[in-house]
Chain A
Amino acid sequence: MEYFLHILVITGIYIILTLSLNLVVGYTGLAVLGHAAFSCMGAYVSSLLALNYGISPWIGLFVGACVAALLGVVIGFPSLRLKGDYLALATFGAGVIVYSVAKNWVAVTRGPMGLPGIPGFSIFGVQLSGVWEYLILVAAFVFITYFVIRRIVKSPFGRILRGIREDEVAALAMGKNINKYKIIVFVVGAFFAGIAGSLYAHYITFIDPSSFTVMESITILLMVVFGGMGSLAGSFVGAAVLVIFPELLRFLGMPSSVAAPLRQMIYGLLLIVLMLKRPQGILGTYRWK
C-alpha cells in the first residue's frame, strides 16, 4: 500500500512536469527538449537553501521555482529565436549544460555524491512524514498547476498561443509580439517545473544529478506527446500511464538490471509507434508541423 501511494506521489510530480511542458510544447508548438533542467534548478536551489541556511522548504519551493523561471529567461531569451529542430537542439544543449553544472560544481552541489538528508515539509511545526501527507500535498500542487495552466490556455492569451502554434506569421501579422509570448510561456513552464523539482527533492530527501539527465527531459516530452499535445486531460493520462505501467514490470519479478533497460525500451518503442501511428497522442488536438 505504502509503495502504491509512493507511485501516486511520483505520478503527481510528473503530472506537474507534463502539464507545464504541454503548455510550451502542446499549446504553443515550441519544440523544447530540456525540461529537466528547470526541475533540476528548482530541486537544487530549494534543497541547498534548506540544508545550508535552514530555510523552510515552503520558501525554498517558491524561491526555487523563481530561480527556475529566471533560468527560463536566460535559456529562452536567446534560444527561442530558433525554430523547429534547432530549438530542440539548443534547449537540449541547455539541458546538458545545467546537468553538467550540477555534476561538476562539486563545491556547491557535491556533484555525483548528491545531497542527502534534505528536510521535508512541515505544517504549523508538524513535520510531514507519511506518504499520505505527501500525496495530499502533491495533489494540491497538481490542482494549482492544472488550474493556472487551464486559466492560461482558456484565456485570450491562450488563444494567441494557439495562434502562434498554428501560424506564426499570421500571429505576427495580427500585431502580436510573438517573441514576448513565447518567452512568457517558456518561463511559466520553467516555474512549474521548478516546483515539481523542489517537491521531488523534499519528498525523496535525496537528489543527485542523475535524476535530471536529458533522458529525463525526453521522458517528460514523451509523456506530453503520448497523452496528447494540447490536451490537459492528456497530460494526466500520459504521466500516469508512463509512470505506473513500467512499475508493473517489477511485479513480474524482474531484477532491476533487466527491468530498468526494459522500461526504457518500452519508452523508446512507444515513441516510435506514436510517431508512426498517432503523432498527436491519445487525446491530442495538435500535430507537429
Chain B
Amino acid sequence: MIEQVLANGLIVGTIYALTALGFTIIYRTVRFFHFAHGVVYACGAYFAYSVLRIAYSGGGPPLHEATADLRYATTWVVAIFAGVIGAGVLGVVIDRLVYKPLRKRKAPNLVFLLASFGVFIFIQNLLQLIFGAQILTIRAGPVKEGHHFLGAVITDVQILILVVSSLLSVALWVFMQKAKLGKAMRAVADDRLAASVVGINPERIILAAFAIGSALAGAAGILISLETNIEPTMGMNAILKGIIASIIGGIGSIPGAMFGGLFLGIAENLGIWKISAGWKDCIAFVILIAFLLLRPGGIMGIKTEKEQL
C-alpha cells in the first residue's frame, strides 16, 4: 500500500513541481505572487480541449490510439502545441495589459497580488461562461489497467506524466544554467540594476519569464487533464499547490520548486491515505503555515527572503 501511496504522490508531485517551476520563473524576475498563473494552467487544458473538440466534434480520440494512427497523432500534436503556446501567449498578454502599467508606477506587491486575483477571477469565469461549469474530459476510450511496478500500479498516462514533467524540469534546469537567455534571467533575478548595467533589458527578460513560465503551466494543465478532468475551477487548486510547493522548497529557487512539488505531492498522499481525501487541501495549507512560521525561507531558500518577511 505504501508503495502505491508514494507512487501517486510522486506523480501528482511532478505536476505540482511543473506548476511551481513556472510560478518560480516568473516570481524570480518580478517578485510578486502571480496568482493568475493558475488560470493560465486551466487555459492550457482548455485550449487543447478546444482543438480536439473542433477536430472531432466532442471528445478526442483515445491517446493510446494516437500512436497507432498518424492522423490522430497530428491532431494531438496540434492540440498540445495550442495548449502550451496558447498558455505562453496568455501569460505574456496578462503581463503586458495588467502588470506592465503597474510596474511603471512602481506599485507595491499587494496591488500586484490583488490585480492578479482580478485577472484570475475574470478569466476563470470567462472559461465558465464559454465552456460551462460542467466537467469536461480530453481523454476518451476505456481506462486501461496499469502496469505493476515495485508493488504499485501505474497506468500508461501516469508514466507519460512522470516522464514528460521530469524531462521538462530537467530541460528548464539546463536552460537556466547554460543558455544565454537563461543566464540573463538568473542575472535579473539576482540583481535587476546590475543586470541592466551589463546591457540586459529587464523588460525583455520579464517577457521571456512570462512566456516560459506560462508555457510550463499550460503543459502541466494538459498533463493533468490526461489523468483527471478539466473544469473552470481547476486553476485555483493548481496555483495554491504551486505556491505552497514553491514556499516549501524556498521561494525563487528552481531546484527548491521541484523538490517542494514532490514533497507536497507525497505528503498530501500520505495524508489522504492516513486520514481521508477530503482533507487534502487542509493538509497542504497546514504544511504551508508551518513552513511560513518555522522556516519561511523554505528548504532551499535564496537569501533575499529574510528582508521580505
Contacts and interface: CB of A to CB of B under 8 A. Distances in A.
B289 A78 contact: yes
A89 B276 contact: no
Interface stretch (B9-17, B48-56, B116-124): B116-124
B226 to A, nearest CB: 26
A261 B285 contact: no
A271 B118 contact: yes
A31 B278 CA distance: 28
Contacts of B247: 89
B110 A264 contact: no
Interface string A89-100: 110011011001
A269 B122 contact: yes
B242 to A, nearest CB: 12
B58 interface: no
Given A93-B289, A272-B115, A279-B107, A265 B125 contact: yes
A274 B120 CA distance: 15
Interface in B127-145: 128-129, 132-133
A48 interface: no
Size bracket, chain A contacts: 35 or more
Interface in B227-243: 236, 240, 243
B128 A78 contact: no
Nearest to A258: B129
Interface string A59-85: 000000000000000000011011111
A184 interface: no
Contacts of A100: 278-279, 281-282
A268 B278 CA distance: 28
A82 to B, nearest CB: 6
Nearest to B240: A96
A154 interface: no
Contacts of B113: 31, 85, 88
A272 B132 contact: no
B282 A82 contact: no
Contact of A104 (B115, B278, B296): B278
Interface in A145-183: none
Interface in A260-276: 261-262, 264-265, 267-272, 274-276
B167 interface: no
A275 B309 contact: no
Given A225-B114, A262-B129, A271-B118, A85 B33 contact: yes
A93 B309 CA distance: 17
B70 to A, nearest CB: 39
Given A93-B289, A97-B286, A265-B121, A85 B115 contact: no
Size bracket, chain B contacts: 35 or more
B102 interface: yes
B108 interface: yes
- Kindly name the residue among A89, A90, A101, A275 whose own CB sees the greatest number of chain B CB atoms within 10 A: A275
Contacts of B120: 268
A288 B133 contact: no
Contacts of B109: 84-85
B292 A86 contact: yes
A271 B115 CA distance: 6
Interface in B262-303: 276, 278-279, 281-282, 285-286, 288-289, 292-293, 296
Contacts of A264: 121-122, 124-125
A89 B245 CA distance: 13
Contacts of B118: 267-272, 274-275
B111 interface: yes
A272 B98 contact: yes
B122 A272 contact: yes
29 contacts: A31-B110, A78-B293, A84-B308, A86-B292, A89-B243, A89-B247, A96-B240, A96-B281, A100-B278, A104-B276, A214-B236, A258-B129, A261-B129, A264-B121, A264-B122, A265-B122, A265-B126, A268-B119, A268-B123, A271-B118, A272-B98, A272-B118, A275-B107, A275-B112, A275-B115, A279-B107, A288-B107, A288-B110, A289-B108
Given A90-B289, A264-B125, A272-B119, 10 more contacts: A82-B309, A86-B309, A96-B281, A225-B114, A258-B129, A270-B118, A271-B117, A274-B114, A275-B118, A288-B107
